[in-house]
Amino acid sequence: MEELVQFVQSEFVTKNEFPSFGAGDTITVYYEIREGEKTRTQFFKGVVIQVKGTGTSQTFTIRKMSGTVGVERIFPINLPALQKIEINKKGSVRRKRIYYFRGLTGKKARIREKRS
């Protein structure tokens, strides 16, 4: 059964090529929204909280602050509506999943930038 799933994913699912990123990185995701007959491009800029899964079933969660309210969104990496991903800053964090980031506010919510 698992071989069948892998075969279908390799043959029929289109793979998108995006830059590699991880938890703590600030990225901008451009995706297409359909409203009736019209389509438009919208972007979501925030900090990557987690990257989960492998291969075609990989997802990533982004968190941004909209005013005083935190907004999180989960994107599948192979979503056909995804147009491009830009990496704005590489963050230096010690964990793969930074759920503790949800409870931080103000200066504590800053992530150090990785030196290249």
52 neighbors 60 (Cβ within 8 angstroms): yes
pLDDT at 10 over 80: no
Mean pLDDT of 1-7: 81
pLDDT at residue 26 is higher than 70: yes
Q: Which two tokens stand for residue 28?
A: 């901008």
Q: Where are the domains of the chain?
A: 19-91
> How buried is residue 97: exposed, middle or buried, by Cβ count under 10 Å (0-12/13-18/19+)?
middle
Map residue 69 onto helix, strand or coil: strand
- Cα gap 6→109, rounded to integer Å: 40
Percentage of residues in the chain with pLDDT exceeding 90? 61
Report pTM: 0.83
Q: Which architecture does CATH list for 19-91?
A: Roll (2.30)
Q: Which helix (H) or strand (E) holds 8?
A: helix 2-12
